[in-house]
Amino acid sequence: MFTRPVLVGLVAASVLLGAGCTSDKPKSTPTSAPTPSATPSLGPSAAAERDALIAYRGMWSAFVEAAKTSDPEAPDLNKYATGNALRLISSALYTNRSQDVVTLGELKIDPKVTALKPSDAPTEASVLDCVNDEKWLEHKKSGGLVNDKPGGKHRTTATVTLTADGWKVSRFVIGDESC
């Protein structure tokens, strides 16, 4: 279970949406979100998978950046997240801002698309991940850690949807189980 408030709120809200799933060990770190490239050789499913993963990674990258200052209105959040996903992240950031808490460090992810719907012209992708926040820790704005409890690895599922503005994470569930 998450021990830090920024993710505790996400877990609590996520539990209402469903349970997390399994994943392999995380390998990538969201540092800067890549943008979809124009690759005409990709079929609709391959392009959807690529673009859904770009949106998913972008959401986490935007969250990590916004968490450095607890900015719930960071513009990149809207670029990669919508609906429940955006509300969960914004709420966690508002809470941390009101408590003078920022989240610093490295978050590791290793997402995989597990399903595309419909298969011939996808508009929705299911993503499975293991979010590793062991080195992404909450700090008092005045300095020092909020607590001495380490983060962990959490089974995470997400739905990424094709919107009028491109692919965006519309919902995610951070499980309280380790992966």
What's the pLDDT tens digit per position in 28-77? 445 555 555 554 578 999 999 999 999 999 999 999 999 999 999 999 99
pLDDT for position 18:
37
pLDDT exceeds cutoff 70 at 24: no
pLDDT for position 146:
94
Instruction: Classify residue 162: in a domain, yes or no.
Output: yes
**How many domains are contained in the chain?**
1
Instruction: Classify residue 118: in a domain, yes or no.
Output: yes
CATH assignment of the domain containing 92 = 3.10.450
Instruction: Classify residue 163: in a domain, yes or no.
Output: yes
C-alpha distances in Å from residue 90, one per residue of 9, 97, 105, 162: 10, 10, 19, 21
Query: Average pLDDT of the chain?
Result: 84
Instruction: Classify residue 179: in a domain, yes or no.
Output: no
pTM listed for this prediction: 0.80
Instruction: Classify residue 12: in a domain, yes or no.
Output: yes
| Residues 44 and 73: beta-carbon distance below 8 Å | no
| Residues 130 and 140: beta-carbon distance below 8 Å | no
Instruction: Classify residue 38: in a domain, yes or no.
Output: no
pLDDT for position 23:
37
Instruction: Classify residue 36: in a domain, yes or no.
Output: no
Question: Mean pLDDT across the stretch 138-145?
Answer: 92
**Which is more confident, 75 or 1?**
75
Supply angle C-alpha 1, 19, 172, rounded to 5: 90
Range of the structural domain that residue 107 is part of:
5-30+43-174
Instruction: Classify residue 74: in a domain, yes or no.
Output: yes
pLDDT exceeds cutoff 80 at 141: yes
| Residues 156 and 132: beta-carbon distance below 8 Å | no
